[in-house]
């Protein structure tokens, strides 16, 4: 069994498990990873409008929402320069950068195994009857 791999699951409180699960769900949603990636690719903090351009297909509303969530989760920093017109810059936190690296290694593993995901299409769909 691979149960040994999951030993740490038992050593985890329900609260820890729940919070980690929430973080994964939120981070793996449609937009967050793209945003984190764009921020990580930039060599400087990005303004809201630059993000809109580079995260292709996102709406202004959803970008705002997603950035707020990422900020609450401690993954991005929002810096408001109180000018007229206003200027706001977004950048990754160290934690956001670290999390992205973890996710990227998972990503890489998946890409390296894409063929396997395909190969499994020809599996048994029925079996001969026996109790």
Partner DNA sequence: CAGAATCCTAAGAGATACTG
Partner DNA sequence: CAGTATCTCTTAGGATTCTG
Binding footprint of its own copies on the chain (CB under 8 A): 1-3, 5-6, 8-9, 12, 16-17, 19-21, 23-25, 27-30, 33, 37, 40-41, 43, 72-75, 77-83, 93, 95, 97-99, 101-104, 106-111, 113-114, 116-121, 123-127, 129-130
Distance of alpha carbon 34 from alpha carbon 15, whole angstroms: 28
24 binds DNA (CB under 7 A): no
Binding of DNA by 18 (CB under 7 A): no
8, interface contact from DNA, its own copies, none, CB < 5-8 Å by kind = its own copies
Q: Which does 53 bind (CB under 5 to 8 A by kind): DNA, its own copies, none?
A: none
Burial class of residue 78 (count of CB atoms within 10 Å of its CB; 0-12, 13-18, 19+): middle
Q: What is 58-115 written as a DSSP string? A: --HHHHHHHHHHHHHTTSEEEEEE--SS-EEEEEE-HHHHHHHHHHHHHHHHHHHTHH
Summarize as ranges the residues that interact with DNA (CB under 7 A).
29-31, 47-50, 57-62, 64-65, 67-68, 78, 80, 85-89
């Amino acid at each position: 069994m691979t149960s040994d791999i999951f030993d740490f699951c038992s050593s985890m409180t329900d609260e820890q498990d729940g919070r980690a699960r929430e973080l994964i769900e939120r981070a793996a949603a449609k937009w967050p990873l793209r945003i984190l990636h764009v921020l990580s690719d930039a060599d400087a903090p990005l303004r809201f409008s630059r993000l809109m351009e580079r995260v292709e297909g996102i709406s202004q509303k959803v970008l705002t929402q997603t950035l707020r969530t990422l900020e609450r989760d401690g993954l991005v920093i929002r810096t408001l320069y109180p000018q007229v017109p206003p200027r706001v810059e977004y950048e990754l936190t160290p934690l956001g950068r670290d999390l992205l690296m973890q996710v990227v290694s998972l990503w890489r593993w998946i890409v390296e195994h894409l063929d396997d995901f395909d190969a499994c299409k020809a599996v048994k769909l029925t079996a001969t009857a026996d109790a």
